[in-house]
Chain A
Amino acid sequence: MKRWIAGLLARRMLALGTAALGIALAVALTATLGLFVLDSAAGMTARAVSKVGPDWQVQQQGADTANAMAALDATIPAHRQAVVDFADISGLTANVGGTVQTTGAGKAVGLDLPAYAAMFPGQIRLMTGSLQGAVIAQQTAANLHAAVGDKVAIQRIGATPVEVTVAGVVELPQADQFFQQVGGMTRTGPSAPPDNVVLLPPDSFAASFGAQLDSAPQIAWRQLHLAIDHTLLPPDPVAALTQSQGLARHFEAQVAGGAVLADNLSARIDGVRQDSLFARVLFLFLGLPGVAVALLLTARITGTGHDRRRAELAILQVRGMRSAALALRMAAEGILVAGMGTAVGLALASTLAKAMGLGFGHLWAWGLAIAVGLGATAVLYGLPLRSDLARPARENLLPAPSVGALGQAWRRMGLDLVFLSIAASVYFETTAQGYHLVTAPEGVPVAAVDYKSYLAPGMLWLGAGLLILRLADWGLERGRGVVAGLLRPVAGRYAPLVAAGIARDRRRIATGILLVALTFSFAVSTSVFNTTYDGQALVDAQLTNGADVTVTGTPDNPAQPVLDKVAATRGIATAQGMMHRYAYVGTDLQDIYGIDPAKIGQVTTLSDAYFQGMTAKAAMAELAAVPDGVFVADETVKDFQLVPGDRINLRLRMAGKADYAVVPFTFAGVVREFPTAPTDSFLVANATYLAKMTGLPLAETVLARANGDPAVAGAAVRAALSGRPDLKVTDLTETARRIGSSLVAVDLRGLTALETGFAGPLMAGALGLVLALGHIERRRSLAVLRALGGGAACIGAFLWSEALVVLGFGLAAGLGLGMVLAGALVKMITQVFDPPPEVLAVPWLLLAGLGLAGALAMVLAVLWALRSPRETLAFALRGGTDG
């Protein structure tokens, strides 16, 4: 047995080695993709909870603080907390510049603001002034026309007003969460946070609202905001959610009705849980075909050695070896390949994982990879061996029984078309309105992927594969003349013969085309999907951020004065001002943007989807042509029954006046989205017209286009404006990270690199293998040609022609299939896109590179066959048959 194995290794090194390499690729691909997905899922949890702010908002019921505190300490030993008091107020009043401004109802909040800001970074953003003292929200400041140092009266409910001096203006980026209603009625969607907010130091709040806090729980209440140690959570979002919900339930049981809880932590994890499922979907949709291709290539290799193994088996059978020993000896080859392939694959995967900085601790990924390696070799070697062992020696000496009849049955049954129609029907169901591929019902720990949807890409892959076989088969046969014409440049006078040969060998060649097509489609579908997704994340981020780098001021503190400075900063190509103010449409206060329609395109990208019924270009032309034109939201059009050309009166703030005044506009069209604009109703008009009518010429915002990395340009602008902390500088990269679904944060560029890293060798391997094995199987024919006197021109005509047919048809079919797959995937998981992409983004350069890798492998394979050794001539002349 030892000698047998040593012999195997010595004689069959190449065959065993290539088979093991195929297995290794499949194993490594499975492991690295698995690690990548699991690791990014863990990253998702970490990222999501890092920005959560207060993990819990615990609201006391009744006055028993001690009870709630004890319950908290018992539930979560490791936590920090801040006391936050709330009181409803009927409004705020300011007397500024001789006029009195009064707001509607709002909220007073009592908390140690500096401590809170330190405990929950990112929750309180100081715009002007300081956090020490009474602080008002930005929108409130705008409503009151109040600034630092002004006096504001708080209209208490059922009590006399109290007056405070504004120490600072802040923004509350997560006001929705901060002011959410805790307990009581179940929430039905996020309730709008109050516009009018004053934040007071604890003692000042106690002085004004202490009595209400004690006696009027419907007007004033106390919350504890908790920061929990996040290292307690498991990395996987699904497990993390179970854990955090368990903690919350435990607390609620302990406190026994003494307090209610808003579990922000679980809500955040809940949100990314869906993304982690999407990551899993992508792993299957995009990774599985790669693994399948690697295994198909391996099958092609092991299939070639099958007749030899059967002959060896027959000899041992004739010698009368007992069946158990026989089975063991014959299985040796498969066991060797399984062992070597799996080991090399795991080593490769760990090298890659290390290089990419992935965590190693995901046993699932390793286990799956090992299962793939061992399972695949068991199928590829074990199943044929089982049936060979059952046959008598003389049958094993004959060429392998043709799978022809069974293997061709699918053609008559039209299985390709059946698969494709199943794929189509599932696809149309999954892309129908309102369908969700992944459902993660809020608050429920079960989250699910609709596994039926896997049928669509799966069946598409199978069906298209069979269809490619059918079409290649049909095309090489029927299109013989065309093929001959196409091959004339390489085959010259041999072209008709070569085309005839290819037509007769079409089954074998079609299989080669299929292998190349599937390999290439793997590369195409992943890279197109990833590029599209990446691009869309950028579009999304640009829509939110406005441009590569954005400097945001306020109506009182516009950014325009720094425009030149920004434009001159290194890394900035050009900068433009954009007004961002507020206008009343009837009683509705909306954001209004003042732009220069001729130049806005220099700094930001306007998508056609932003406008209704016209392209972005047409919309800008319309605005340029109509100085008083205004684009309004669809909702506004319906509310006011507007038709193009209608006059529409807006009320805007005027220079030197505290009040809003009417300005006439002409309705120019409907805008759906606009850079930096909110998701609800807003307006877009000409900046020059706004400036002329209001007497306020300065743009509040500056948009800049970077000529390189937006993050670098953003940092440079931030440095240049370090003397202006009142202006906010944001860049595209940071915004993408902040707003993107956490799936965007699963750096898809890493995934692309990984997959194309595998696609390259697979591509080269597929072509090299298909052709080299083809040459080996036909080496007798090549020897005959040589013996007849055929030189490089003659033999090359046959070799180059076949290689080019396999490469050309394979690449074309692969490109087509890959695009269809990528398109279907984008449509199917459109749930994660906002807005969905208009077209697929194709990384042509990358694909051309992969095509080139294939071409290179083809050239090498042909050159190898052309320099076939002299001894093969003996084949032609001595004994044996053709074939």
Chain B
Amino acid sequence: MLDSMVTFDGVTRRFPPDVTAVDEVTLRVRPGDRIALQGVSGSGKSSLLALMVGLDRPNAGTIAWPGLEKGPLRPGQIGIAFQSACLLPSLNLAENLALPWLIARYAGDPGRAVAEALDLVGLGEMADRLPSELSGGQALRAGVARALVTRPRLVVADEPTGQLDGETGRALIGALLAWAEANGSALIVATHDAAVAARMDRHWQMSFGRLTEVLAGEVA
């Protein structure tokens, strides 16, 4: 148990009037995990991730982060790439990416970390662009890059390849995996793309809020 990063124990999240988005989920994330989270639309993926990163609270059950330090989870220990890019429209990419660095109160200038993150997702040339000057896919990639700036121990990405063509999507996942490797971080990716899921070590399947782990060898 000591090497658990996040644990869910019988976690349930209901929304009024009668949706149970997450239903008695018990799980464990370990350092270095590469997890794919799959399931049909509306099965509760985003809801689960929101609980995991501390954006939402369960109606029942407990969530713990034994592998992380006490204090704020976001953005220093957990980085999130939202399902939509969620960039601030009045800040350019470099400024948007600097935000987590500043919020986490990291010392020094965020410039290098920001440039590296942008390079990683292939947007190195676009630091000065405003979100409105990006394509949907570019904006999503910027959102992924923003999750990496603070070098968090856990990165959660909600459908990062949703709007990308196959090749760009593959490149992005490759870069994410390489970054996680180099950084020793755990990675959870919600995705509808089997090819993306195939590059992960663990496979979680959601259906009507229930989570099952598909072990290696079984067919998804």
Task: Show the binding face of A for B, using Cβ within 8 Å.
Answer: 493-494, 497, 500-502, 504-505, 780-781, 784-785, 787-791, 794, 873, 876-883
Q: Contact: B103 with A882, CB < 8 Å?
A: no
Q: Are B102 and A882 in contact (CB under 8 A)?
A: no
For A786, the closest partner residue in chain B by CB is: B55
Q: Are A882 and B87 in contact (CB under 8 A)?
A: yes
With A879-B83, A880-B84 known as contacts, the answer to whether A788 contacts B131 (CB < 8 A) is no
A-B contact pairs, 16 of them (CB 8 A): A497-B99, A784-B87, A788-B74, A788-B103, A789-B76, A789-B100, A789-B104, A790-B103, A876-B82, A877-B82, A877-B86, A877-B158, A879-B84, A880-B84, A881-B84, A882-B139
Given A784-B86, A794-B103, A497-B91 contact (CB < 8 Å): yes
Give min CB distance, B17 to chain A, whole Å: 15
Q: List residues of chain B with CB within 8 A of the CB of A789.
A: 72-76, 100, 103-104
Kindly list chain A residues whose C-beta atoms are within 8 Å of the C-beta of B130: 504
Closest CB in chain A relative to B57 CB, distance in Å: 9
Which listed residue (A785, A790, A882) contacts B84, Cβ 8 A? A882
A781 neighbours in B (Cβ, 8 Å): 88-90
A882 / chain B contacts, CB cutoff of 8 Å:
84-89, 131, 139
Max chain B CB contacts within 10 Å: which of A500, A502, A789, A794? A789
Q: How many residues of chain B are within 8 Å of chain A by beta carbon? A: 33
- CB nearest to B95 among chain A residues: A497
B55 touches A787 (CB 8 A): yes
Q: Is B121 located at the chain interface by the 8 A CB criterion?
A: no
Q: Compute how far the CA of A772 lies from the CA of B71 in the bound complex, rounded to whole angstroms.
A: 32
Q: Is the interface of B mostly helix, strand, loop or mixed?
A: loop
Shortest Cβ gap from B145 to chain A (Å): 13
A784 touches B88 (CB 8 A): yes
Q: Is B98 an interface residue (CB 8 A)?
A: yes
Q: How far is the CA of A791 from the CA of B50 in the complex (A)?
A: 17
> Please, which residues of chain B bring their CB within 8 A of the CB of A878?
46, 83-84
Contact flags (1/0) for B96-122 with A, using CB distance below 8 Å?
Answer: 001110111000000000000000000
A-B Cβ contacts below 8 A, count: 84
A877 vs B52: C-alpha distance in the bound complex, in angstroms?
13
A556 to B103, CA, bound (A): 89
Q: Which of B102, B139, B158 contacts A493 (CB 8 A)?
A: B102
Within the assembled complex, what's the spacing in Å between the Cα atoms of A26 and B98? 46
The answer to whether B84 and A787 touch across the interface, beta carbons within 8 angstroms, is: no
Q: Tell whether B56 is near chain A: CB-to-CB under 8 Å.
A: yes
B92 at the interface (CB under 8 A from A): yes
Closest to B101 in A: A493
B80 part of interface (Cβ distance < 8 Å): yes
Complex: A504 Cα to B92 Cα, angstroms = 9
Q: Give the chain A neighbours of B103 by CB distance below 8 A.
A: 788-791, 794
Contacts of A784 in B (CB 8 A): 86-88
A712 and B146 alpha carbons, distance in the complex (Å): 74
Question: Contact: B75 with A497, CB < 8 Å?
Answer: no
- A502 to B90 alpha-carbon distance, docked (Å): 8
**Shortest Cβ distance from A500 into B: residue:** B95
C-alpha spacing A780/B46, complex, angstroms: 18
Within 8 A of A (CB), among B134-171: 139, 146, 158
Residues in A whose Cβ lies below 8 Å from that of B84: 878-882
Docked Cα-Cα span, A784 to B99, in Å, equals 11
Verify A504–B91 contact, CB threshold 8 A.
Answer: yes
CA distance A181 to B84 in the complex (A): 93
Given A787-B55, A788-B100, A794-B102, the answer on whether A877 and B50 have CB atoms closer than 8 Å is yes
Q: How far is the CA of A787 from the CA of B102 in the complex (A)?
A: 14
| CA distance in complex: A502, B95 (Å) | 13
Q: Shortest distance in angstroms between B70's beta carbon and chain A's nearest beta carbon?
A: 15
Q: How far is the CA of A876 from the CA of B131 in the complex (A)?
A: 15
Bound complex: CA A129 to CA B72 (Å)? 97
Chain B residue nearest to A506 (CB atoms) is B90
B56 and A787 contacting across the interface, CB-CB below 8 Å = no
Interchain CA distance A878-B158 in the complex, whole Å: 10
Nearest residue (CB) in B for A780 is B86
A785–B83 contact, CB under 8 A?
no
Interchain CB contact under 8 A, A494 and B102: yes
For the complex, what is the distance from the CA of A788 to the CA of B149, rounded to whole Å?
12
Check A501/B91 contact, CB under 8 A, given A788-B103, A790-B103. yes
Chain B residue at minimum C-beta to C-beta distance from A509: B90
Cβ-defined contact, A500 with B75, below 8 A:
no
Tell me the bound Cα distance from A353 to B90 in angstroms: 48
Minimal Cβ-Cβ distance residue in A for B85: A882
Q: Once the chains are docked, how many angstroms separate the CA of A883 from the CA of B86?
A: 9
Return A488 CB to nearest CB of chain B, in Å.
13
Bound complex: CA of A880 vs CA of B87, how far in Å?
A: 12
User: Nearest Cβ in chain B — how far from A212, in angstroms?
Assistant: 96
Give min CB distance, A880 to chain B, whole Å. Answer: 6
- Could you say which of B50, B80, B88 has the most chain A C-beta atoms within 10 Å of its C-beta? B88
Chain A nearest CB: distance from B59 CB in Å? 14
Asked whether, in the complex, the Cβ of B74 is within 8 Å of the Cβ of A785, the reply is no
Shortest Cβ gap from A459 to chain B (Å): 34
Q: List, in ascending order, chain B residues with CB within 8 A of A788's CB.
A: 74-75, 80, 99-100, 103, 146
CB pair B91 A785 closer than 8 Å = no
Contacts of A881 in B (CB 8 A): 84
Please judge, given known A-B contacts A873-B56, A878-B46, whether A501 and B102 are in contact too, CB under 8 Å: no
Known interface pairs A785-B99, A873-B55, A877-B46; 15 further A-B residue pairs with C-beta atoms within 8 A, sorted by A's residue number = A494-B102, A497-B95, A500-B92, A780-B86, A781-B90, A787-B55, A787-B74, A788-B80, A789-B76, A789-B103, A789-B104, A790-B99, A881-B84, A882-B85, A882-B89
Q: Are B90 and A787 in contact (CB under 8 A)?
A: no
Residues of A within 8 A of B131 (CB): 882
Within 8 Å CB of B104, what residues of A?
789
User: B91 to chain A: which residues have CB within 8 Å?
Assistant: 497, 500-501, 504
